[in-house]
Each structure stands twice: as structure tokens, then as C-alpha cells.
Chain A
Amino acid sequence: MSEQKPEQSTARKRLQTAMAMLLFTSHRLPGVRGYELRRRLGKNYLKVIETLNHRLEPMGLRVKILFETVVEQPGEEDYDRARYFITLAEPLTLSDVVAAGWRVDELAVLAAALALLFSRGGKAPRKDLMELLEAKMPKWRVESALEKFMRRGYLVDSGDGVLSVGWRAVAEVDQKQLLKALTDLQTREIT
């Protein structure tokens, strides 16, 4: 095997550092901010992330960039303040998710909660959701599932009985795809 050139070795080392930073949680939340990547990888950190993304693609993974606010043309500052994660590139199947330890009724609660919140601009009274779900499953189960998803960052209870979409749902769930899947599901059932 030929010996690596110093620049190749540096690039490889940067990729390893980026991967470690993205995978290991060093804060309360997973992922890292752009300015942290800049500090460790240098000003060309976006190129390192792009290269990492190419390397991850064949493994079904990708680097997801979550901007603080919705921006059409993100600038350097937006990238610095954004949060970077590694996520799956393609969704799993229901059986895979169940095999990983998730309960179908909990996923149903999360699906209903997020779909309702997305359709109402990101916020909805908790009692509206409870009324909707209590017809499907016991109140205690809905309550416990909501609490669990609040702890995990998918939902946020602002304390005045209003639920909103959490940071994790924004990072992991494709809003349009969820609503489309819900609509398609109904269309199939009606026809």
C-alpha cells in the first residue's frame, strides 16, 4: 500500500474528527453547532461536512443541517449557528422500528400529535389532542406517551396547556411527507 501524502492524512484526520463530533454527545442534546465545527476543523468545515456526507451516503446515512430560523439563502452566520446531526438517509420500515423497541401505539400518538401540530402552524391546545386520541386508546397511555415524547424533545409543553413541535421533530420528521402519508393512507382506505 502506498504511503499517504500529508494533505491526505490531514483530510482523513479532519473527517474522523467531524464524525466523532457528530456522533458523540458532548452537550445535553445530540449534534454540534457550526461554530464548534469551525473551531475544530477550521474555516473550511463545510467542505469537510460535504465530504463526510458523500462518504456516509452509501451507508444510508447523511448529515442533516438544522438552521435556527427558516432561511432561503443561508449565509455564513446561519451555518455557524445551525446544528449538525447524522441521521438516516431513508426511513425505516414499521417492523424495523418495532424491533428496535418502539411501541406501535406510542408511534401512533406521536404521529397524531405531530400531524395535528403541523396542520395548525406548530402549536395546538393539549386538550384538543387528548380528545382526539382518547377515542383510540386509554387516557393514561396517551398521557404517558406524550410525557415520553416531551422528554425526548419531540414535543414541547409551554406550561399553559399548549403543545408545540420540539427541536427533535423538526430535525427528524419530514413535515410534508408525514401529512402526505396520512392523506394517502386515507385515500387508499376510502377508494
Chain B
Amino acid sequence: MTSVKVAREELERLIALCEAVAKSGTDPYNLDVKSMLSKLRSILEKFRNAEVLVLDAETLYRIAVVVALQHKWLKDRANSLFLDSQVIALKIASSDKKSLAAAFVSSWRPILYTEQLTIHMLNIGLEHFLSLPTRGEKTAGEMLPSEGLALENLSKTFSQYERLEEDVRRIHGEMLGARDVDGSVDYLGFVNAEGPSKVVERAFLTAFVVSEGYADLKKNPLTGEIRIIPYTEKVKRSSVSSLVVTVKGGELVV
């Protein structure tokens, strides 16, 4: 039983060797086909087990592939003027880029063709389009005036803008009122002031105030604490960077 196992392992090793040569494209003459065949013969004479016979046939097939590769290898070597790959590598390493490019161009005859939209391309485009996730329908509130709002809706839109401005002014006032001794406000506490249901709205309005230049956000890199520094007047900044604050399930993930 153990000898069958040894024979099986030996055959699997031979198959792996042949496979490696076929996959990597290394010199197939590195394999000694003759000794492999004699090993195969001795295994075949000793064992008539079905499993070994199947492996034996597989090994024979792999060896046949290696022999075919040896034939191809010789043809390719003849085509490559029997130049060793090491010599080629050395030549590539010692040539400058322009000479390499010139050598390539001298042997290059590009194909002439015109590109146009084909049925195949249309199919690819259609597949891509169909694979896109479905977006929810836009509500009237989300639509911009340029997206074709009727004239009668414009007054509603303007009143919405006015309400937003009022809210921003209100939040700015609240910020100024909530200042600590050092003139700053805790961001988490401020956006949570009206409970979890208002977190997103207050964070959104705070972002407006900060973007407009009526406040700054400072993040402590060690503790991760974010503080708002509100200003009574609009401040002009020399450099601006953005800060991402994630809201998940009504709570902040900073």
C-alpha cells in the first residue's frame, strides 16, 4: 500500500515538473524526458492499480506536451537566430532607451484600421449600463431650477433658500452663544444639542457656517476631538481643507 503511495507521489511530482515547464516557458530541454519515461515504465510494470494507471496516462500526456514544447523551442530558437536570452537581456541592459525604440521601430509595421462603433462595443456599453445600480427617483425638493422647474415652483424654491439662510443665521447665533472660555464649542455636543433626530440637520448647517467663513473647525489629532471656533465677522482664509464627519444611525462616527 505504501509503495503505491510512493508511486503515486512520484507520478504527481513528474506531472508538476512538466506543468511548471509548460507554464513558465523555461527551456523544455531542462527536463530529461528519457529518464522520466524510464521511471514511468518501471512504475507501470510494478503497479497495475487503477489509480496509478490513470496517473500514469496523465504523466505520459504531460511528457508528450513537453516533447511538443521542445520541438517548438527549437523552431523559436531558429527564429530568434539562436541568440541566447541572456545575451538579449545583456543587450537590453546596455542599450539606451532611444536605441531600443529605434530597434523596435525598424521591425514594426503597424496595422492600418479605422475605429468605429460596432455591435460588440454597443453590447459592452449596454452591459455596463445594465450593471449600474438603480437610483431612486428624484423628489421635487432635490431638483435644481436648471432641471426644468416650472415658473410657479420657483417662488417655493426661493422661499426654501430663504429658510436655509435663516437656519444658518440661527445656528451661527447659537454657536456664538455656546462659546466656552477659550472661545470654542465642542462639535459633538453642539450637533447633538437637539437630540439624535436633529444631528444631521445641525451638522449640515454647521458645515454651511464653516464653509461661509463664520467659523472654523479644529481637530485634535491625538484625541480626535473636534471643536468649532465661531467668529462674529466673516473670516477670509488663505488655505482651506475639508474634514469628513460620518453620521451613522443617528450617531456620529468621527
A114 CB–B CB distance under 8 Å: yes
Q: Is the CB of B105 within 8 A of A94?
A: yes
Query: Nearest CB to that of A160 among chain B residues?
Result: B23
* CB < 8 Å neighbour of B24 from A27, A125, A178: A125
Which residues in chain B, 57-91, are within 8 Å of chain A measured between CB atoms? 72-73, 75-77, 79-81, 83-85, 87-89, 91
CA distance A70 to B26 in the complex (A): 21
Q: Let me know if B6 is at the binding interface, CB within 8 A.
A: no
User: Which residues of the other chain, A, contact B116 by a CB distance below 8 angstroms?
Assistant: 24-25
- Cross-chain contact A61 with B112 (CB below 8 angstroms): yes
Is residue B109 within 8 Å, beta carbon to beta carbon, of the partner chain?
A: yes
Check B24 against A135 for contact (C-beta < 8 Å). Answer: no
B100-112 near A? 1/0 per residue, CB < 8 Å: 1111111111111
Q: Which listed residue (A64, A116, A174) contacts B88, Cβ 8 A?
A: A116
A179 close to B114 (CB less than 8 A): no
Asked if residues B25 and A118 are in contact (CB atoms below 8 Å), the reply is no
Given the known interface contacts A85-B113, A112-B100, A183-B83, the answer about A122 and B107 at a Cβ–Cβ threshold of 8 Å is no
Q: How many residues of B contact A (CB 8 A)?
A: 46
Q: Which of A92, A132, A164, A183 contacts B108 (CB 8 A)?
A: A92
Query: Which of chain A's residues 43-78 have a Cβ closer than 8 Å to chain B?
Result: 61-62, 64, 70
Measured in the bound complex, the distance between the Cα atoms of B100 and A181 in whole Å is 9
Check: B182 CB closer than 8 A to any chain A CB. no
Q: Which of A104, A133, A162, A181 makes the CB contact (< 8 A) with B23?
A: A162
- The answer, yes or no, to whether A173 is at the interface (CB within 8 Å) is yes
**Of the candidates B76, B79, B100, B109, which one forms a contact with A172 in the assembled complex, judged by CB atoms under 8 Å apart?**
B109
Does residue B94 face the partner (Cβ distance < 8 Å to A)? yes
In the bound complex, residues from chain A placing their C-beta under 8 Å from that of B84 are 119
Question: Across the interface, which residues of A come within 8 angstroms of B106, CB to CB?
Answer: 91, 177-178, 181
Chain B residues near A186 (CB-CB < 8 A): 91, 94-95
A121 x B102 contact (CB < 8 A): no
With A31-B111, A180-B81 as contacts: A121 and B100 at CB distance below 8 Å? no
| A26-B118, A94-B102, A132-B93 known; A123-B25 Cβ under 8 A | yes
Question: Are A88 and B110 in contact, with the CB atoms below 8 A?
Answer: yes
| Cβ of B92 under 8 Å from chain A | yes
Contacts of B25 in A (CB 8 A): 120-124, 162, 164
- Other-chain contact of A87, B99, B103, B111 (Cβ < 8 Å): B111
Flag if B113 contacts A31 (CB, 8 Å).
yes
Q: Which residues of A contact B112 (CB under 8 A)?
A: 23, 61, 85-88
By the criterion CB–CB under 8 Å, are B118 and A27 in contact?
yes
A144 within 8 A of B: no
Residues of B within 8 A of A23 (CB): 112-114
A176 lies within 8 A of B113 (CB): no
B138 at interface (Cβ–Cβ under 8 A)? no
Q: Which residues of A contact B75 (CB under 8 A)?
A: 70
B97: Cβ under 8 A from any A Cβ: yes
Are A25 and B108 touching (Cβ within 8 A)? no
**Which residue in chain A gives the minimum CB-CB distance to B79?**
A175
B83 close to A112 (CB less than 8 A):
no
Q: Using CB atoms, name the residue of chain A closest to B88.
A: A119
Q: Is the CB of B101 within 8 A of A179?
A: no
Query: Taking the complex as formed, is A11 at the interface, i.e. its CB lies under 8 A from any CB of chain B?
Result: no
Residue in contact with B111 in the complex, picked from A90, A104, A168, CB distance below 8 Å: A168
| B73 lies within 8 A of A121 (CB) | yes
How close is B21's CB to chain A, nearest CB, in angstroms?
Answer: 10
- The complex places the Cα of A93 from the Cα of B27 at a distance, in Å, of 35
Which B residues touch A173, using CB under 8 A? 104, 107-109
Near B by CB (< 8 A), chain A positions 93-120 give 93-94, 97, 104-105, 107-108, 110-112, 114-116, 118-120
Decide: A107 and B88 in contact? CB cutoff 8 A.
no
| Residue B142, interface by CB 8 Å | no
Known: A92-B110, A104-B101. 10 other contacts (CB 8 A): A31-B111, A91-B107, A91-B108, A108-B98, A175-B79, A176-B79, A176-B80, A178-B106, A181-B102, A186-B94
Chain A to chain B contacts (Cβ below 8 Å), 12 pairs: A22-B113, A91-B106, A92-B108, A111-B101, A120-B25, A120-B26, A121-B72, A123-B24, A123-B25, A173-B107, A178-B103, A181-B102
